Chain A
Amino acid sequence: MKSLAITIESVHKAYGSYVALDDVSLDIQAGEFLTLLGPSGSGKTTLLMALAGFVRPDSGKLLLGDRDITRLPPNKRDIGIVFQNYALFPHMNVLANVAYPLVLRKIPRAEARQRALDTLARVKLDGLAERNVAALSGGQRQRVALARAIVFEPRVMLMDEPLSALDKNLRETMQYEIRRLHDHLRITTIYVTHDQREALIMSDRIAVMNSGRIQQIDTPQRIYDRPSTRFVAEFMGEANIVAPGSARRIDGAEPSRETLMIRAESFHLDAKLVGGNGVALEGILRAKAFRGENWLLTLALDGGQEVLVCIPAALAGGCAELAAGQRMTAYAPAAKVHAIPGATA
């Protein structure tokens, strides 16, 4: 099976005056696992549906390999899709659901059955082939949907928030299994989610979307540590956006004139842990909360801005004794201080 690269070229889609996709361009390599991440209404599902063929772009081009699929009907695209609600066929049993794409391709009955059974084994559903779809648990339905989407060996897979209906533990298991399946099959995969942790765990690259545009596309680590916009910084976790001049350089040099992004967990209370190269933020402790694995401190800087400081419980020897209203300093190493280009706090 050969998976294909996907090219999205200046795709635009508007519903009346509402712009769902605003000139989106994206290159996905063959075999890559790319996540479209963004809040609801950011355009990620619209982009996925355009690739699937259910949304026709107003302008722009979609390419699978070097084939233009912009005008191709969904049934001719050979793309496996896993829907948010699974969209299993309730009038067919598990085997018939999985064999359905093979039957459509006029594959002989015995071969279709065997391939469906093999695929069910691959998603660990052996023995449930004759089961009624209604009798399955949420996790099992998810696996049937997955099996049905890969059984016909599509060259591209699209997944639309496939895990959002599962509870937390099952979701984590499935994240791991979907990624493992991808590593095995190497099908080019576009995965849509609004859960930033899920995106970080699963993806080769993440494209963060907001209001119909791609804000940043990069590896999970770079998206997290080096966000290119304030939106990405804040969407990816507890980010502090620090106004120019609020942070003092530990080495005494001139403070930066840029807007800085410092993640809450990048701070230390002990200057020695940071070394000579870093920044210090001074302020008054407003609130503190113990969250099990860490302490969350809210610090009010002298300029009035509030900063969240997250200290791992293992390093937070003194946190329990801190009292609200007391003056304190939080330190962050230079490597963890990121200047956001062109942003204003």
Chain B
Amino acid sequence: MLEAYPQNRLARILLWSFAALVMAFLMLPTLVVVPLSFSASNLLEFPPHAYSLRWYENFFGSATWMAALRTSLILGTLTALIAVPFALLACISMNRLGGKTAAIIQSVLLTPSITPGILLAIGLFFVLAAQHLIGTLFGVLVGHVVLAVPVACIVLLPALARFDWNQVQAARSLGANWARAIGGIIVPQLRISLLSATLMAFLTSLDESVISIFIASGRNSTMPKLMFLSLRDQIDPTIAAISTLWTVIVVAVVLIVTLRQKS
């Protein structure tokens, strides 16, 4: 392992510089929005000539944006609440079945995560249109759950693979039915993985735009959908303020969960 580190001083400096450049490349597009959001100008300009909080006021004062924020948070919460228990049960059954059957179920469950989002959205549009669910919160929720289940499975499958199944058998022999064995033995021990899965499912929904653009409408518009629309129609720094807030929220949630896991 140690021989992977170059002995040569110059080579080491180059390696570190390259790594720092990659990090910067990953971070800067996100960070560049922050100063833009505090601009006093009506245009997106960098660097800003004067600073103000007017775009934040604009965001919080807008009924449309507030409705979209509410929709997104409700959707994210519902998505996580539905997708994670579903994924947990699916992963338990895959873990128990094993072999070819489990492999088939797994590839079906994970398909939405590798299908191009636009195809999934078109397909979902036709299915939901037949049920007259276009434009409803429920329709978008279905789409988000479909996307969040594979994400939750990817987190939960390895955790279950490490789980000592004898414990479930022990609980069953001691008188626990399936529900109590899962709730009392599996869930408490997988709580960290379940928390990660919940967070990932929540963020998957929060971040999703394509399905929302196709299926959500009017007051059921989500934040990403409204952001796309506002970028298309008029470019003002409100979008930068929103992006900044969005980033802060996501980073905060991830940090809280990561720190909780460590303690």
Q: How far is the CB of B253 from chain A (nearest CB, A)?
A: 25
Contact of B175 among A52, A83, A85, A104 (CB under 8 A): A104
Tell me if B109 is interfacial: C-beta within 8 Å of chain A: no
Residue among A75, A90, A91 having the largest count of chain B Cβ atoms under 10 Å? A75
Tell me if A100 is interfacial: C-beta within 8 Å of chain B: yes
Q: B167 and A87: CB pair below 8 A?
A: yes
Q: A83 and B169: CB pair below 8 A?
A: yes
Q: A83 and B170: CB pair below 8 A?
A: yes
* CB within 8 Å: A-B pair count: 60
Given contacts A90-B189, A91-B188, A91-B189, contact A101 B174 (CB under 8 A): yes
Contact of B172 among A53, A84, A91 (CB under 8 A): A53
Tell me if B185 is interfacial: C-beta within 8 Å of chain A: yes
Q: A89 and B175: CB pair below 8 A?
A: no
Tell me if A79 is interfacial: C-beta within 8 Å of chain B: yes
Tell me if A12 is interfacial: C-beta within 8 Å of chain B: no
Tell me if B102 is interfacial: C-beta within 8 Å of chain A: no
Which residues of the other chain, A, contact B171 by a CB distance below 8 angstroms?
89, 100
Q: A105 and B170: CB pair below 8 A?
A: no
Tell me if B173 is interfacial: C-beta within 8 Å of chain A: yes
Tell me if A54 is interfacial: C-beta within 8 Å of chain B: yes
Residue-wise, chain A 67-107 has the 8 Å CB interface mask toward B (1 for contact) of 00000011101111101110111110000000011001100
Q: SS class of chain B's interface: helix, strand, loop or mixed? A: helix
Which residues of the other chain, A, contact B175 by a CB distance below 8 angstroms?
75, 78, 101, 104-105, 152
Which residues of the other chain, A, contact B172 by a CB distance below 8 angstroms?
53-54, 73-75
Which residues of the other chain, B, contact A87 by a CB distance below 8 angstroms?
164, 166-167, 169-170
Q: How far is the CB of B249 from chain A (nearest CB, A)?
A: 31
Contact of B180 among A78, A81, A104 (CB under 8 A): A104
Given contacts A87-B164, A90-B189, A91-B189, contact A81 B170 (CB under 8 A): yes
Tell me if A186 is interfacial: C-beta within 8 Å of chain B: no
Which residues of the other chain, A, contact B167 by a CB distance below 8 angstroms?
87-89
Q: How far is the CB of B182 from chain A (nearest CB, A)?
A: 13
Tell me if B92 is interfacial: C-beta within 8 Å of chain A: no
Q: A85 and B174: CB pair below 8 A?
A: no
Which residues of the other chain, B, contact A230 by a CB distance below 8 angstroms?
none
Given contacts A53-B172, A91-B188, A100-B171, contact A85 B177 (CB under 8 A): no
Given contacts A85-B164, A91-B189, contact A148 B174 (CB under 8 A): yes
Q: Can you list 9 A-B pairs, Cβ within 8 angstroms, ordered by A? A: A73-B172, A74-B169, A75-B173, A78-B175, A80-B173, A81-B170, A84-B166, A87-B167, A88-B167
List 17 other contacts, CB 8 Å, given A81-B170, A83-B170, A87-B169.
A52-B169, A54-B172, A73-B172, A75-B172, A75-B177, A85-B166, A87-B164, A87-B166, A87-B167, A88-B167, A89-B167, A89-B171, A90-B189, A104-B180, A148-B174, A152-B174, A152-B175
Which residue numbers of B lie inside 8 Å of A, CB to CB?
164, 166-167, 169-177, 180, 185, 188-189
Which residue numbers of A lie inside 8 Å of B, CB to CB?
52-54, 73-75, 77-81, 83-85, 87-91, 100-101, 104-105, 148-149, 152
